[in-house]
Amino acid sequence: MNVLITGASAGIGRELAYLHADQGHHLLLVGRNIEQLFETKHFVEQRGGSAIVLPYDIGQTVQIKALLRATEHTPVDVLINNAGFGLYGEFLETDLLREENMIDVNIRALTYLTKTFARRMKVQGSGRIIQIASTSSFHGGPFMSVYYATKAYVLSFSEALADELAPYNIQVTAVCPGATHTDFAATADLATSGLFKRPGIMDAKTTAQLSFTGYMKGKTLVIPGRSNAVYVFMTRLFSRRKLVQMTHQLQAPTQSF
């Protein structure tokens, strides 16, 4: 089985690569950090899988096209759109260029890759597409407004495709992790947020294992972890305005004394 993972150089993407390696799968590892990708490849092979490194920046259309050319003759059985990042801060103060790049990676690249590989899977007769969304998909998030909006897109898009692609034997799963200890917090400049200062934050390995178990069962929606599942259930009990206010309180910048 050939499994393509974007954002495979670290975090949840790397841990998912390891889990597929345990099944003897062949990994196509996509990311920008070539050294970390080769490190992932090394450990994949140590665990009984095989891998190739595809060092492409999917935030750039020209590199997405290059990636698709590089995989044109390799049947991909599982696509895992894991690459993504956030940005923390007041919307009026955050960097627009970084937000544009976030939209490029979290939405445009994900859509581009999904369409291309779904078409190939239709010809192949089957396939599986995993989209890494977030518990933030379920409501707006002050101080990370663009990120929350991109993940809402991923969830909505995935749920629709799960229905559309089912007749072609293509399974689509949206995975919605909560806050997870990865490089995400540093990349998003979350040092002053209260989001990662609360107890119960899962590590990438646990999140990946729960996600893997869920999507390999063919579930349309996977929420890794009991506390995250409870959180998503609780979003049904409050108005959307109240959820935004609660998120504001959680993510508002804190000060050190």
Q: Could you tell me the two tokens for 185?
A: 């917090």
Catalytic status, residue 147: yes
Strands (E) in 10-150, as ranges, are: 26-30, 50-54, 78-81, 127-132
C-alpha to C-alpha distance for 24 and 161, rounded to whole angstroms: 28
Going by C-alpha positions, the residue among 179, 185, 162 that lies closest to residue 223 is 179
State the catalytic residue, choosing from 147, 153, 168, 215: 147
Q: Is 215 exposed, middle or buried (0-12, 13-18, 19+ CB in 10 A)?
A: buried
The candidate with the shortest Cα–Cα distance to 153, out of 167, 172, 132, 183, is 132
Lookup: tokens for 33: 């950090």
Q: Which residues are catalytic?
A: 147
